């Protein structure tokens, strides 16, 4: 073996040694200098300052699944994915601190700070302390890790980052400290037990240990491959469906786009500070082109500089991303958390000469500017709001705020909760006319994803079980059925605030007056439609039509109510009956034509609309028909 090559890194005896943090690295008992310690503290202080707001973020979405598992009997075997981070760690924190979001986020920040110290220790073995501190700062202030710090369920990434950093620190210890190689192996296994993405590094670590040529190195190499292989097998098995979700869809065709997207994200993810979707940003032509340019420039620099340390770091970055590159639909910046240090390490090792006792000023200036830009981007993302709703733009912060509002209201109304619950949203649903129907306008633009945010924020209702363990079932519904009369109704707004009611209170209809049953039945039907109780509304409208046979209004409303629940046959019959009673009723004619058009009966719809299109001057409904026909002709 070439004595000038150790673990793929060129030996370095720069005059500022012994440096860093620990005596075990060089085998020396000389303590680290004050300056070295001071530089090592810089990325820690920056990380805590930049992500200080995380301590105020509440639980949301998958968090409730893990919290419930931590407070009940959990039969998950130790070989399941993320057993260390999402089972043992959750149980320990809940046991010590209860279901307290603050405790989880404090642990997350401690993991980030500890990772920063370990990354600095590794970089400072090959770089001057100032450069090592700045390279580490670029990692721990990156917008890429924003959601990993703020989202409790993403604590798995921070556990994985910490143990990988620990493994790197132990692995790069001098060869005479042989036991540290075993420490590195143990730390790597713990990283895999935290999140399976770490399996990508197993071939590299195995190859480097095998290269040592010792019996112990060969055994460790086999163990690295065994750990990675077993992790891959489990990830692809039914146990790989983390949090009870479906297995992720994978495709080789997704690899190039994801690779370019992640490269763009780790270098310039701050430009997505106001983007509501990581995936949409990464699929933009500029991001893809930028990622491809970064890759080309990086490969060219590696080939030109021929720095074994930088090449090794680049290979580590690529391998740690391999598990997430084939994912077709899941693209989140924080998936690159564990690979991020290798990216910046490679660039710093490429830019700074091997024998430099201090980094070039221009390199430090550029790196400092990038770091400042990242800090600014994190601040912008933390404060960015959706355009139409006073909720955070970032999906984790948004859902955490929604969940906090909902849980506060649920705690205040806990005694009203029954064992079976249905959730009903307060945004209008689509009517037969394609416009808004039912509940009053919320003041926000119609957006189906906002209702989905509430469902996701409350983990499809799992959050209820933390407030009221006696709740056996919860369901989000589009409308309330007769079968829900025995259930508790929870009417929620898009910001998560909600009201808990019994069925009769939710309906809130007036009793029938025998003196005027037709009018009251129409009013009751309108109330039922507003509450999305379409079955009740349809029953009332049939009765209203029976007691007032010449009035087309019950049949028009009946058509809209039936169409809202997908009963197109009843809707068409009702609207046709209304039009037969009142041939001049523009609304009935328009609605019937829309229904026929939606069912693919284009010629029937044109015949129904013909009188509308013949009007001079054209009415508003006639203009809507013309726009629809013009759009279909394009």
* 374, 287: one domain: yes
Cα 310 to Cα 349: distance, rounded to the nearest angstrom: 5
pLDDT of residue 433: 52
Return the closest-CA partner of residue 193 out of 336, 332, 89.
89
pLDDT of residue 313: 94
Range with the poorest average pLDDT among 49-63, 100-114, 511-525: 511-525
**Per the domain annotation, does 331 fall within a domain?**
yes
**Per the domain annotation, does 9 fall within a domain?**
yes
* 418, 359: one domain: no
Q: Pick from 334, 351, 383: which residue ends a domain?
A: 383
> Each residue of 326-367: pLDDT tens digit?
988 889 999 999 999 999 999 999 998 876 778 888 888 999
Cα 509 to Cα 524: distance, rounded to the nearest angstrom: 6
Alpha helices in 552-601 (DSSP H): 553-564, 568-581, 586-598
**Per the domain annotation, does 520 fall within a domain?**
no
Q: Pick from 439, 472, 507: which residue ends a domain?
A: 507
pLDDT of residue 432: 52
Alpha helices in 468-619 (DSSP H): 503-507, 517-530, 534-547, 553-564, 568-581, 586-598, 602-613
> Each residue of 513-554: pLDDT tens digit?
777 778 888 888 888 888 888 888 899 999 999 988 889 989
pLDDT of residue 598: 83
Q: Taking all residues of the chain, what is their mean pLDDT, rounded to a whole number?
A: 85
**Per the domain annotation, does 529 fall within a domain?**
no
pLDDT of residue 236: 72
Residue 420, beta-bridge partner list: 473
* 404, 367: one domain: no
Report how many domains make up the chain: 3
> Each residue of 245-270: pLDDT tens digit?
556 678 888 999 999 999 999 999 99
**Per the domain annotation, does 534 fall within a domain?**
no
**Per the domain annotation, does 533 fall within a domain?**
no
**Per the domain annotation, does 525 fall within a domain?**
no
Alpha helices in 464-516 (DSSP H): 464-467, 503-507
Q: Pick from 360, 383, 406: which residue ends a domain?
A: 383
> Each residue of 491-521: pLDDT tens digit?
998 899 999 999 888 888 877 777 777 888 8
pLDDT of residue 29: 36
* 147, 44: one domain: yes
* 424, 498: one domain: yes
pLDDT above 50 for 215:
yes
Rg (CA), the chain: 31
* 360, 401: one domain: no
**Per the domain annotation, does 523 fall within a domain?**
no
Predicted confidence band of residue 22 (pLDDT cuts 50, 70, 90) = very low
Predicted confidence band of residue 441 (pLDDT cuts 50, 70, 90) = low
How do beta strands 488-492 and 498-501 pair? antiparallel
Residue 543: CB atoms within 10 A of its CB come to 18
* 349, 474: one domain: no
| pTM score of the predicted model | 0.84
Range with the poorest average pLDDT among 176-190, 255-269, 302-316, 538-552: 176-190
Return the closest-CA partner of residue 60 out of 456, 476, 494, 473.
456
Cα 629 to Cα 621: distance, rounded to the nearest angstrom: 13
* 360, 285: one domain: yes
* 156, 54: one domain: yes
Burial of 299 (0-12, 13-18, 19+ CB in 10 A): exposed
Cα 168 to Cα 6: distance, rounded to the nearest angstrom: 14
Helix/strand number for the chain, H first, E second? 27, 8
Range with the poorest average pLDDT among 98-102, 170-174, 253-257, 295-299: 170-174
* 610, 461: one domain: no
CATH of the domain at 581: 1.25.40.10
pLDDT above 80 for 124:
yes
pLDDT above 80 for 8:
no
* 435, 582: one domain: no
* 367, 416: one domain: no
% of the chain beyond a pLDDT of 90? 48
Provide the domain limits for residue 82: 5-383
């Amino acid at each position: 073996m070439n004595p000038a090559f150790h673990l793929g890194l060129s030996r370095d005896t720069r005059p500022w040694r012994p440096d860093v943090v620990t005596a075990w690295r060089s085998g020396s008992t000389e303590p680290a200098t004050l300056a070295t310690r001071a530089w090592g503290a810089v990325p820690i202080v920056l990380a805590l300052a930049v992500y200080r707001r995380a301590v105020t973020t509440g639980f949301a979405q998958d968090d409730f699944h893990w919290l419930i598992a931590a407070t009940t009997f959990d039969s998950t075997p130790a070989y399941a994915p993320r057993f260390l981070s999402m089972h043992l760690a959750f149980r320990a924190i809940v046991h010590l601190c209860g279901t307290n979001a603050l405790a989880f986020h404090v642990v997350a920040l401690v993991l980030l700070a500890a990772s920063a110290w370990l990354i600095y220790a590794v970089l400072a073995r090959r770089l001057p302390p100032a450069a090592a501190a700045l390279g580490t700062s670029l990692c721990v202030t990156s917008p890429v890790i924003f959601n990993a710090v703020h989202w409790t369920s993403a604590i798995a990434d921070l556990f994985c980052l910490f143990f990988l950093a620990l493994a790197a620190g132990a692995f790069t210890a001098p060869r005479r400290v042989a036991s540290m190689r075993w420490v590195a192996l143990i730390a790597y296994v713990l990283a895999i037990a935290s999140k399976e993405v770490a399996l990508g590094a197993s071939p590299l670590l195995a190859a480097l240990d095998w290269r040592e040529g010792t019996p112990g190195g060969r055994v460790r190499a086999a163990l690295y491959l065994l750990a990675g292989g077993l992790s891959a097998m489990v990830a692809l098995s039914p146990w790989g469906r983390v949090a009870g979700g479906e297995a992720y869809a994978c495709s080789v065709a997704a690899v190039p786009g994801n690779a370019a997207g992640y490269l763009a994200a780790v270098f310039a993810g701050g430009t997505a500070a106001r983007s509501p979707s990581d995936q949409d940003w990464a699929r933009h032509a500029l991001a893809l082109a930028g990622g491809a340019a970064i890759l080309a420039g990086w490969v060219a620099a590696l080939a030109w500089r021929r720095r074994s340390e930088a090449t090794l770091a680049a290979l580590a970055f690529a391998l740690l991303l391999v598990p997430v590159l084939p994912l077709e639909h899941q693209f989140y910046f924080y998936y690159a958390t564990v690979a991020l240090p290798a990216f910046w390490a490679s660039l710093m090792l490429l830019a700074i000469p091997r024998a430099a006792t201090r980094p070039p000023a221009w390199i430090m200036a550029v790196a400092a500017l990038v770091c400042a830009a990242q800090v600014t981007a994190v601040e912008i993302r933390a404060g960015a709001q959706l355009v139409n709703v006073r909720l955070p733009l970032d999906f984790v912060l948004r859902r955490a705020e929604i969940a906090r509002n909902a849980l506060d209201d649920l705690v205040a109304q806990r005694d009203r909760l029954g064992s079976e619950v249905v959730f009903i949203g307060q945004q209008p649903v689509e009517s037969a006319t394609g416009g808004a129907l039912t509940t009053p306008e919320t003041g926000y633009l119609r957006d189906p994803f906002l209702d989905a945010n509430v469902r996701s924020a409350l983990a499809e209702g799992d959050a209820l079980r933390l407030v009221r363990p006696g709740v056996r079932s919860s369901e989000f519904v589009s409308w309330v059925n007769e079968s829900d009369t025995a259930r508790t109704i929870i009417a929620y707004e898009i910001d998560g605030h909600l009201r808990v009611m019994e069925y009769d209170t939710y309906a809130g209809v007036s009793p029938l007056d025998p003196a005027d049953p037709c009018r009251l039945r129409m009013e009751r039907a309108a109330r039922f439609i507003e509450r999305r109780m379409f079955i009740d509304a349809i029953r009332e409208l049939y009765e209203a039509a029976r007691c007032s046979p010449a009035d087309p209004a019950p049949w028009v409303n009946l058509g809209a109510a039936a169409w809202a629940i997908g009963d197109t046959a009843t809707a068409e019959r009702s609207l046709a009956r209304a039009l037969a009673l009142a041939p001049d009723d523009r609304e009935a004619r328009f609605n019937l034509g829309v229904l026929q058009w939606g069912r693919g009966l284009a010629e029937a719809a044109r015949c129904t609309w013909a009188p509308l299109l013949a009007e001079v001057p054209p009415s508003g409904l006639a203009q809507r028909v013309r726009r629809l026909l013009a759009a279909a002709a394009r």
